């Protein structure tokens, strides 16, 4: 199950904390890959991102999400999964 498939309204406090931790780990993986992504092919970025997620204990993610992240960071953009954990807060790019 993707982190995005969970019904946040039905989560208890422990599940909510687990979700928050998973999203922070996902953001950490995105931020790790981002500096190396510019100029790489999307498939190469997806590979790097998948490995970074796996290293953090995050299971496989939907291909469409991986492709969206790869497209954004591959073009030099910032993808924010978790604003609280992002290395590059969105307000820095407004």
DSSP 8-class letter at 10? G
User: Does the residue 32 lie in any domain?
Assistant: yes
User: Does the residue 17 lie in any domain?
Assistant: yes
Collapse the DSSP code of 40 into the 3-class scheme (helix H, G, I; strand E, B; otherwise coil) and give the result. Answer: coil
9-40 burial string, b = 16+ CB within 10 Å, else e? eeeeeeeeeeeeebbbbbbbbbbbbbeebeeb
Centroid of chain to Cα 56: 11
pLDDT of residue 20: 84
Q: Which residue has the tokens 């790869």?
A: 70
Q: What's the domain count of the chain?
A: 1
List of residues 6+ apart from 23 with CB closer than 8 A: 3, 81, 82, 85
pLDDT of residue 41: 97
User: Does the residue 90 lie in any domain?
Assistant: no
Blockwise average pLDDT, block size 10, the chain, 94 residues: 51 70 93 94 98 97 96 93 68 48
pLDDT of residue 3: 47
User: Does the residue 89 lie in any domain?
Assistant: no
Domain that holds residue 68: 11-84
pLDDT of residue 94: 45
pLDDT of residue 58: 96
User: Does the residue 30 lie in any domain?
Assistant: yes
């Amino acid at each position: 199950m993707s982190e995005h498939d969970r019904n946040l309204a039905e989560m208890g406090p422990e599940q909510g904390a687990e979700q928050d931790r998973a999203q922070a780990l996902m953001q950490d993986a995105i931020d790790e890959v981002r500096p190396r992504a510019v100029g790489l092919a999307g498939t190469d970025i997806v590979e790097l991102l998948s490995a970074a997620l796996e290293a953090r204990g995050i299971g496989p993610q939907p291909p469409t999400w991986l492709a969206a992240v790869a497209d954004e960071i591959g073009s030099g953009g910032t993808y924010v999964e978790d604003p609280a954990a992002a290395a590059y807060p969105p307000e820095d790019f407004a």
